Amino acid sequence: MNVGPAAIRSVDPGGNMAGPLLAQWIGGGPDSMLGNLFLAFVAAVAFATIVAVVAGLVLAAASAMAHDLYVGVIREGHVTPQEQVRAARVATVLVGALAITIASPPRARTSRTWWRWRSRSRRPRISPASC
């Protein structure tokens, strides 16, 4: 296996798999254990980076809310350091809960309801012409 533009485009036309494919090639290719281990390591690092960035954004948003809204608007600058820390903690929980709520898909059906719907959709349909 050769890692080049054609091989990368065959896996991902956008070219985003160049790094993981290179790591797999350095480890010995797609059929070797070390190559797959390198690929998994690069994927884990990418995932951890994304999680860290999201966590940093949530903390920055919570800090801005606590300082600007609570300290600046609600209390007009008259707070103790303990109140400011408490406001930051509350804002962190609120922003985190809001982020989870926005990011999670709606649960329209429970698993039991889904199975009932699925079994109904697989029933043979009888048309009036076949009777």
**Percentage, residues of the chain above pLDDT 90:** 22
pTM of the model: 0.59
117: confidence class by pLDDT, cuts 50, 70, 90: low
Dist. CA 20–CA 39, nearest whole Å: 5
Q: Does 127 fall in a domain?
A: no
Q: Does 28 fall in a domain?
A: yes
pLDDT tens for each residue of 20-30: 999 999 999 88
Token pair of 81 as six digits: 């350091």
| Residue 38: CB atoms within 10 Å | 19
- What pLDDT does residue 111 have? 55
Q: Does 40 fall in a domain?
A: yes
Domain that holds residue 68: 5-103
Count: domains in the chain: 1
Q: Does 41 fall in a domain?
A: yes
pLDDT tens for each residue of 45-98: 999 999 999 888 888 888 888 888 888 888 888 888 888 888 888 888 888 888
Q: Does 72 fall in a domain?
A: yes
